[in-house]
Amino acid sequence: MSQDELARAHGGAPLSGVLRASPEDFRVTEKLGFGADGDGEHVLVTVRKRGLTTQQAAGKLARHAGVKPLAVGYAGMKDRHAVTEQAFTVQLAGREEPDWQGLAGDDIEVLASQRHRRKLKRGALKGNAFVIVLRQVTGDHVAAERVLAAIRDHGVPNYFGEQRFGRRGDNVEQARAMFAGRRVQRQQRGILLSAARSQLFNAVLDRRVAAGTWARALPGEIFCLAGSRAWFGPEPLDEALAERLAGGDIHPSGPLWGKGETPAGDEAALLENAVAAEHPDQVSGLAEAGLEHDRRALRLLPQPLDWHWPDRTTLELRFELPAGAYATTVIRELATTL
């Protein structure tokens, strides 16, 4: 199932427009949730990059510091076609710190640097703040305001974005070929496993969106804690859990398949197992790869969400998302984009 075919929660997208007319129209600021230690053999470097992948920016930092690429760490992958501010660590054991200002150019600039004790690990961030501009917008403005208010008040389905499935969208097919015995490089293996897992999650979420249950608890629900990777259940939806669900403290969850059976029960388990039965090679392949079963929230709450129209054909959106969430999943509820 393509991204365009996934069910939308608030009706069809009322707008169409151009996304990323320039990198400046897609601005991302990483939120680590912690500061530098102030000492150590690493340097925590905050970088503004334009038109570079995270790996390309890491390579530039490594070359400038005269270290191997493995000495550079980062918490999250950021879009190439964007202006992004994100943190890197550069390990400088036994080396003098370079003049970071000497790296300044049109595509990369070091904004701050401070000593740190640990290498940044993937996923070690709180979230990201976005400023996104849609241009050449057409469509129903009244309906758009309704959808924007619904997104603000109720959130959006927490789909994995198209970036997860490769530039040609064929990572899942490549994963299936790998499960069937095709050899792949070690680095590619992790990417393909993630794509297979993400596609199964999206399939479960698609069914719950279509059924109107993506933001409410089913019998046998597993709940995810907001802002955390922790989950618990299944538990009956009592008054206390209902209040937490309504307040956004917990969310219904879907499966990230791995070894063993889904921990969900009753109706939630029946739905998840029905999807698994349609993709047996992916489910068995993920289990045989040794991945542990995990969970991901079905609901995504952009907080806060603000918007304004500089003119009738331009819409600016501002919001923050937790780590692992995709800004494109917010935009797809509102607009089809070029």
> Could you write out the DSSP letters of every residue in 227-238?
TSS-EE------
* Active site annotation includes 79: yes
DSSP 59-113: HHHHHHHT--GGGEEES----SSSEEEEEEEEE-TTSPPP-GGGG--SSEEEEEE
Among 56, 30, 28, smallest CA distance to 44 is for: 30
Determine the 3-state secondary structure of 210 from DSSP.
Answer: helix
User: What whole-number distance in Å separates Cα of residue 208 and Cα of residue 168?
Assistant: 27
Active-site residue (options: 4, 37, 79, 294) = 79
Q: Are 320 and 130 in contact (CB under 8 A)?
A: yes
Report, in this order, helix, strand and coil percent for the chain, each rounded to 5.
35, 30, 40
- Catalytically active residues are 79
